[in-house]
Amino acid sequence: MTAVGEYFQRRAREAPAAKDCVLSNAQQRTYALHPMDKASPSAPVPDGESERLECITKFGLMDLNEPMPELDIICSFLGKELGFFCTMITIVGATHQLILSCTIPDFAQALLPREHTFCQHLLMGDAPFIIKNPEADVRFYNMNPVTRQGV
C-alpha cells in the first residue's frame, strides 16, 4: 500500500459516515433549473470577491507564466492516487482563470474566460464540489470544456 493509501485509510477510520458529509449544492440549487440557449448561468459572486481579487493583483498571481514543477507533481500525484481524469491548480481572476498546472498538458498555462470554468462555482462553497455529469448540469453543459474537450 502506498503512503497516500495508508494516510487515507487512517483518515477513513476517523471520518464521519458518508450520510453525515455535506456537499456543495446538496440541499438546494443556487442556479436556474431551465437551460439557456447560448450561455451557462453565471456563477454567484462570493461576498469577499473584491478582497480576493485585490490579493491576486497584489501578488501578481494572474501574471505567473512559467512552469511550476512543484505544482505539476501535486497534480500528477492526485490524479494517479485518486483516479481523476483531470486535476488542475488554478487562479480565478475577475474575468479569466489561469491554469497553473494540469494533468492534461495542453491546458497548462491556459487562460480561460471565467464564464467557461468550473472553478468559478467552487468559490462559493466551503465543501467538496463534485460534478459527475457536467453535460447534464445546466450550469456546465454549454461551457467550452464540456462541448469542445469532453471534460
Residue among 98, 111, 95 nearest 71 (CA): 98
Q: To 10 degrees, what angle do helices 3-14 and 69-82 make?
A: 60
* pLDDT digit string (tens) for the chain, length 151 residues: 676 677 777 777 776 666 676 655 555 555 555 555 555 556 777 788 899 999 999 999 999 988 899 999 999 998 898 888 888 899 999 999 999 999 988 888 999 888 888 877 776 777 766 677 888 887 778 877 787 776 6
> What residue segments make up the domains of the chain, in order of their start?
47-151
Q: Where are the beta strands (DSSP E) in 1-151?
A: 88-92, 96-102, 111-113
pTM of the model: 0.66
Question: Which residue is listed with cell 469532453?
Answer: 150
Describe the strand order of the beta sheet including 111-113 as a list of residue ranges.
88-92, 96-102, 111-113
